[in-house]
């Protein structure tokens, strides 16, 4: 059974809010309220509509923003962590590493060494190249990595 256009518009409203302010605290309860649906219904229907649970979608947006800031600015990593919604630099670094397989500092060093080649590349292409793969949960990715299966 497909989702109604009205429900999709409501879900898109919450997705747009996360896209516009990924640094904010977007609990499932708050997102469900924005979409005017129940919490359980929101979580289930969001994943059905967009292919990822809301939390994983938000992590994707935050990591995308962090990679852009690491690549395009000289802001300290601490400042980037706080600007992208983390309350702890340690948590930011651990999750960034879990998702990208490199630390924020390693990412910055690698991308700064190839920045000349990227300057003529459209922004949408750079985002696609740096987009994190969150088809599986971060904890599952960490477990597979430690078992040598990733």
pLDDT value, residue 8 = 95
pLDDT, the chain, mean = 86
Q: Give the separation between CA 82 and CA 89, rounded to whole angstroms.
A: 8
Tell me the per-residue pLDDT of 30-64, one tens digit each, with 9 for 90 and over: 999 999 999 999 999 999 999 999 999 999 999 99
User: Tokens 């740096």 appear where?
Assistant: 130
pLDDT value, residue 128 = 65
In 3-state terms the chain splits into helix, strand, coil percentages (rounded to 5) of 70, 0, 30
Q: 1 falls in which pLDDT band (50, 70, 90)? A: low
| Contact assessment for residue 64 and residue 132, using Cβ atoms and an 8 Å cutoff | yes
Q: 146 falls in which pLDDT band (50, 70, 90)? A: confident
Query: Which of 44-58, 66-80, 93-107, 134-148 shows the lowest per-residue confidence on average (mean pLDDT)?
Result: 134-148
Stated pTM of the model:
0.74
Query: Which of 37-51, 104-118, 127-141 shows the lowest per-residue confidence on average (mean pLDDT)?
Result: 127-141
Q: Give the separation between CA 46 and CA 32, rounded to whole angstroms.
A: 10
pLDDT value, residue 26 = 95
Q: Which of 139, 74, 82 is nearest to 105 (CA)?
A: 74
| Contact assessment for residue 93 and residue 103, using Cβ atoms and an 8 Å cutoff | yes
Checking if the pLDDT of 126 tops 70, the result is: no
For domain 56-146, say whether CATH 1.10.3720.10 is its number: no
């Amino acid at each position: 059974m497909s989702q109604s256009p009205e429900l999709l518009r409501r879900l898109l409203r919450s997705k747009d809010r996360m896209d516009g302010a990924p640094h904010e605290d977007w609990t499932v309860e708050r997102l469900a309220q924005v979409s005017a649906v129940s919490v359980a219904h929101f979580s289930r229907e969001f994943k059905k509509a967009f292919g990822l649970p809301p939390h994983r979608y938000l992590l994707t947006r935050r990591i995308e923003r962090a990679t852009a800031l690491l690549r395009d600015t000289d802001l300290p990593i601490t400042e980037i962590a706080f600007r992208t919604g983390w309350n702890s630099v340690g948590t930011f670094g651990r999750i960034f590493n879990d998702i990208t397989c490199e630390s924020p500092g390693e990412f910055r060093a690698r991308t700064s060494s190839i920045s000349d080649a990227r300057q003529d590349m459209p922004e949408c292409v750079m985002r696609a190249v740096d987009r994190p793969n969150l088809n599986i949960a971060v904890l599952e990715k960490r477990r597979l990595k430690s078992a040598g299966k990733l």
